[in-house]
């Protein structure tokens, strides 16, 4: 179970990186606009939280 959570977390972080790269030229700050910015933030936070949660003893 822990390995599955880590893989999901990596997938979230890779998806955020892909979104950031694809929309790099769309915005002045390199993140894009509106919904894209929110999606990147949610994916990064979700990925980090899932990766940290995989270390809890309940998932071992």
Residue 49 has pLDDT above 90, yes or no: yes
How would residue 19 be classed by pLDDT, with cut points 50, 70 and 90? confident
Region 17-44 average pLDDT? 76
DSSP 8-state class, residue 41 = H
Contact 23, 2 (CB under 8 A): no
CB 16 within 8 Å of CB 44:
yes
C-alpha to C-alpha distance for 7 and 26, rounded to whole angstroms: 29
pLDDT > 70? residue 25? no
DSSP codes of every residue in 17-28: HHHHHHTTTTST
Contact status, residue 12 vs residue 47, Cβ threshold 8 Å: yes
């Amino acid at each position: 179970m822990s390995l599955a959570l880590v893989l999901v977390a990596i997938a979230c972080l890779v998806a955020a990186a892909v979104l950031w790269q694809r929309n790099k030229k769309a915005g002045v700050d390199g993140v894009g606009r509106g919904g894209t910015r929110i999606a990147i933030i949610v994916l990064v936070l979700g990925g980090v939280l899932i990766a940290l949660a995989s270390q809890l003893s309940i998932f071992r």
